[in-house]
Every structure is written in structure tokens, then in C-alpha cells.
Structure 1
Amino acid sequence: MGVKEQRQPLRQGLPKRRAADVGHCAAELLPRSPYDVRYTPDAAVIGFAFEGQTGVHAFATDRRAEFRAKPNGLAYVPRGCDVYSQSLHGGEYLRIVVCHGQEDAGLSERRFSDIIDSTAIRAAQNLRAILLAGNPIDLLNLEHWLDALIDRATHAVRRNESEPRIGSWMTTRRLKEVDELIDARLDDKLTVQELATAVGLSTGFFSRAFKASVGKAPYEYIIDRRISRARTLLEIGTAELSDIALASGFTSHAHMTATFRSRLGVTPSHIRREFV
């Protein structure tokens, strides 16, 4: 169903394929890895970026342009739209291929990206947890959250256009500076005030603008970055879980495990076993 993309692996150990089909669509969780793809989907494709990405892309043209995708951004490509996309690092990405009958029920004929929608974020996080947990998959639960994400893709553009544009204060440059500071200080104590000061905004205004821009409060976003680093360390090495926890900004192995269970629905040990 849909189109297959070829992503080059970021590491030697490869996880099990995290994908499932149910009824009217197919879901796949793509790992963070470099990719260089060109395809024309024969069905509508909904995407959700768990992490920010940078690279080069082109849609329905050979004219390529640099892009910087927001984390927690909802995207959509209609069937028949020629796509080229390339990234040296990539980012964890949820891809939903929608059958013809479902896409005709209200999805746009125009592509879009970087739509921030709180309900879509919740649906994508639940879908990720289902796919990470693996077999046996609760198909009814999977279908519920797939329908929720498709519904948000149907309505996200209109809602996004009608909301205040406070998120526009978080420019690409500011988001890049925030990401760089978080990555540099992830294993250290970092405050929202420091992030706000780094981009020249007050703490309160920064928090509101940041959430409007990426769909999550700064604190929640930092936790996501900690989880992302811990997952990378779990997948590429054999360090002790306690050491990985501290290197990722968690206070202890137990703290990291509790956060993984809460956010991903699986433990760090489960993630590591996927790469053994």
C-alpha cells in the first residue's frame, strides 16, 4: 500500500520494522537516519515529525529548496505529487499512507507541512507508543488514533489560519539557537529563563511563543530531547543504563525508565533489545 521509501541506516544495528496496517491505512515509524528519496505516492501520505529536521526538498518540481522542519509538525502530501527529500541526519518520523476512499472524505488536494496541532501531537505520540511496543498490536486502539490523526490533517489548516500568530516570533533562527543550547546543556541544569534570554525574549512571552510554534511547552520539549539522546545512546552502544541516564539529563536510571514508560510506553531495556 502506498509508496516505499529507502532510508540509509544511521547505525549498524537495525531495529525491527515498526509498521502496521489496519483497514483504510498503513502506519510506519521511521527512525532518525540520513535519507535521500524521490517518489510519487499513489495514495495520500500524512506525516508527523517528532524531531526537527533540516535538508533539501522539492514538490512537483525539480527546483530544490532548503528546509527546516519544526518538531511536532503535521504534514500532508496528496497522491500523485512528485516528492524529493534529502537530509544528512533525518529525524524520527511517523508516516501514514491513506487509501483512496478515506482521503476523498475531506483531505486537502494541497500539500502542507509544519502544522502544529495539540490533538495531532497526542495522536502521533500514542501511535508511536503502539508501534514501539510491537506485537501483538491492538488494532482497535491503532485504528482509533489513526482516525484521530487523519481527522486533524483534515481540519488543521483552517484552525491554524484562524489562530493568533504569536508563534511567528519563534523564527527559524531562534528555534535553531534554542535547539543548539538545549543539545549543549542537555546533561546539565538548564532553565527556561536561560533559553528565553538566549533569543532575546522575556520568559513568559518566550514560553507562549515557543508552545505556539512547536506545540509543546519548553519543559516538555526538553524532556523530548532527553529521551531522543537516551534512545540514540541505547541504540549505538553498550554503556550502562545509569550512565546513559545521566548523560541524557535524567537524575537516575529509575527517572529515565519512568519517563520512557510515560512518554513511549516502553522501557529503555526494550529499546536496547531492539538493536541486539
Structure 2
Amino acid sequence: MEGTATLKTEPTRRVTVGRWSAELLPRQPYEARYTADRALLGFAFDSQKGVHAYAGDRIRPFRATPNGLAYVPEGCDVYSRSPAGGEYLAVKGFDLDEAVDVPFSDRMDPAAIAAAHAMRGLLLAVPVAEPVRCEALMNVLIERLSCQMQSRQSSRGGARWMTAQRRQRVDEIIEARLDRMLTVQDLADELGLSAGFFSRTFRQATGRSPHAYILDRRIARARALIAAGAEDLSAVALVSGFSSHAHLTTVLRQKLGVSPSALRANLFRGGL
């Protein structure tokens, strides 16, 4: 993929329905310091690392879990910096019956995961489709956030075993072999585990099966290459681990609701 155009990221996608608003932030390096003027619900699509600080606490390293739900209360001081960033959904404008003052992240919630991925598909459409559907999905996310606040259950043993260091190792293996055949057994072998134990612990820690997570990473690479200006979509498909341009097109339509050519056209005419 040498000789492509100057690196360009996808635009931020936004939708507002009544008092609620949602933004889909692209994967890119960032540094941010702000005081939250409203409570914020966040959802990290990607594994992400950097440093952050909340409510005046000292700056600490962090590694966000993919498909993790997060919360920042109103009035909370936030500093965050990441050299690579990660695709992120932010929802604002909501009220909670029992809001808490302590921020949190990396909460695994299957219903929230499904809603966030569906919301991403709507935001990638141009123009943004179905405001009522957007509102329904934001409502699901807010309800799941409220349930997470009320939950006092501790993490299961498998999720605790999949530490940040082990997740990083899994990410490194996947990125290095994304353009080739990659099985769950391959990943389990790298960590010295059985495929069954690895699959269970990985799902508990990330909210996704290994197969679904690998597909997410293939889609993310294809989108990054398209955003960087790659013109040969067949080459993009192969470098991203898809068997053909047709395979890539089918997957993007199924998962994001948009074809590769439409995604590129939306990006280079300014997106939303």
C-alpha cells in the first residue's frame, strides 16, 4: 500500500435528537483537557492506550478495553492523551435517576455493545438515517449505563485473568497477522492456553468473541487505509485480511451499513 495519498482520518460523525446528542470520534492521536459540562456516556470500539487523570487525580497510564462502556459525571475535570487513539462513541444530554460522582470505564455489557455497534452504523450513513432509531439506541445505552451504576458484582475470574498486558499481546499478534489466516487456536497457542479457556476469558474481558474481535480489527484497518487515500479497494481488502473486494464490500454493508466506495466518497466530500 505504498504511495497512497497524505494520511487523512474520517470526520467526526454527529447526530442530535431532542436534548440527546451522539458523536462518533475517529481513531486518531489526541490530547484533551476539559471539565465535563454534562454527564458523558462513552463507548470504546478499539483497544486504546495512553495516560489520563480524572477529578484532579494524578496522571496515570491507561489501556481501554475494546467494547467497554464508560461514564464521566458532570463537572468532572478530565485530562486524556493517546498517541494512537481509538474509535469512540460519546453520548450527552441525558439525565440519570441515580447518577454517581465517580467516573468509570471498561464495563462489559452485551446489550450496550449491540446498541453501540448499531449506532455506529447509523452514524456512518450519509445523511444520518432514522432519527427515531438513533434515539432508541441512545436510550438503550443510557439504560445499560444506569444498570451498570447499580451493579455491585465483581469481575469474573476469567475477565481478571485477561490483564491489560495480555490484551496488548493479543492485539499485537492480531495486528501482525491480520492479512493472513488467523485462528483462535493460533492466539491461544501464543499465550500457552487451550482454545476453550482463551475464548471464554477473552469474551468476558472484551464482550466479544475472538472471531468477532478479529473481524472488527480487519474492518478498522480497511477503513484506515481508505481514509489514507488508498484507491485500489481490492488491495485494501487483501491487506486487511478479506478474500476479495466483494468480501470486503459484503462485510462492510453487513456491519456498518455502507460499502467501501460509499465510505470513501462520504469521506472525501467532507462526510457529514
TM-score, L = length of structure 1:
0.91
* 1:268 equivalenced with 2:268 (yes/no): no
How far 1:16 sits from its partner (Å)?
A: 4.5
Query: Equivalent residue for 2:3?
Result: none
Deviations 1:84-114 (A, max 9, x none): 0001110000001124xx23x2333321100
Change (3 A) 1:136 1:153: closer
Aligned residue for 1:140, secondary structure, equals helix
Aligned residue for 1:74, secondary structure, equals strand
Corresponding residue to 1:224 among 213, 216, 220: 216
Mapped to 2, the partners of 1:264 and 1:160 lie a distance apart of: 34
The residue correspondences of 1:98-137 to structure 2 (distance < 5 A) are 98-99=93-94, 102-103=95-96, 105-137=97-129
Query: Equivalent residue for 2:83?
Result: 88
Q: Which moved more, 1:27-36 or 1:236-245?
A: 236-245
Query: Equivalent residue for 2:64?
Result: 69
Change (3 A) 1:17 1:177: closer
Query: Equivalent residue for 2:17?
Result: 22
Mapped to 2, the partners of 1:17 and 1:66 lie a distance apart of: 25
Query: Equivalent residue for 2:206?
Result: 214
Query: Equivalent residue for 1:46?
Result: 41
Corresponding residue to 1:58 among 38, 47, 53: 53
State the structure with bigger RCO (CA 8 A, min sep 6), 1 or 2: 2
How far 1:239 sits from its partner (Å)?
A: 3.2
Residue type matched to 2:89 in 1? L
Aligned residue for 2:61, secondary structure, equals strand
Paired residues in the alignment total: 263
Mapped to 1, the partners of 2:152 and 2:28 lie a distance apart of: 30
The answer to whether the Cα contact below 8 Å between 2:7 and 2:227 also exists between their aligned partners in 1 is no
Aligned residue for 1:275, secondary structure, equals helix
Mapped to 1, the partners of 2:150 and 2:187 lie a distance apart of: 31
Mapped to 2, the partners of 1:109 and 1:172 lie a distance apart of: 25
* 1:249 equivalenced with 2:244 (yes/no): no
Q: Which moved more, 1:59-68 or 1:152-161?
A: 152-161
The answer to whether the Cα contact below 8 Å between 2:9 and 2:26 also exists between their aligned partners in 1 is no
Corresponding residue to 2:167 among 168, 175, 179: 175
How far 1:224 sits from its partner (Å)?
A: 0.3
**Ranges in structure 2 where 5+ consecutive residues have no aligned partner:** 1-5
Q: Which moved more, 1:28-37 or 1:17-26?
A: 17-26
Aligned residue for 1:36, secondary structure, equals strand
How far 1:243 sits from its partner (Å)?
A: 0.7
Mapped to 1, the partners of 2:210 and 2:9 lie a distance apart of: 31
How far 1:165 sits from its partner (Å)?
A: 2.9
Mapped to 1, the partners of 2:127 and 2:188 lie a distance apart of: 43
* 1:195 equivalenced with 2:190 (yes/no): no
Aligned residue for 2:153, secondary structure, equals helix
Q: CA RMSD in A?
A: 1.6
Aligned residue for 1:211, secondary structure, equals helix
Change (3 A) 1:17 1:203: closer
Mapped to 1, the partners of 2:80 and 2:99 lie a distance apart of: 22
Change (3 A) 1:51 1:203: same
Corresponding residue to 2:27 among 11, 27, 32: 32
Q: Which moved more, 1:175-184 or 1:132-141?
A: 132-141
Residue type matched to 2:113 in 1? I
TM-score, L = length of structure 2:
0.92
**Ranges in structure 1 where 5+ consecutive residues have no aligned partner:** 1-10
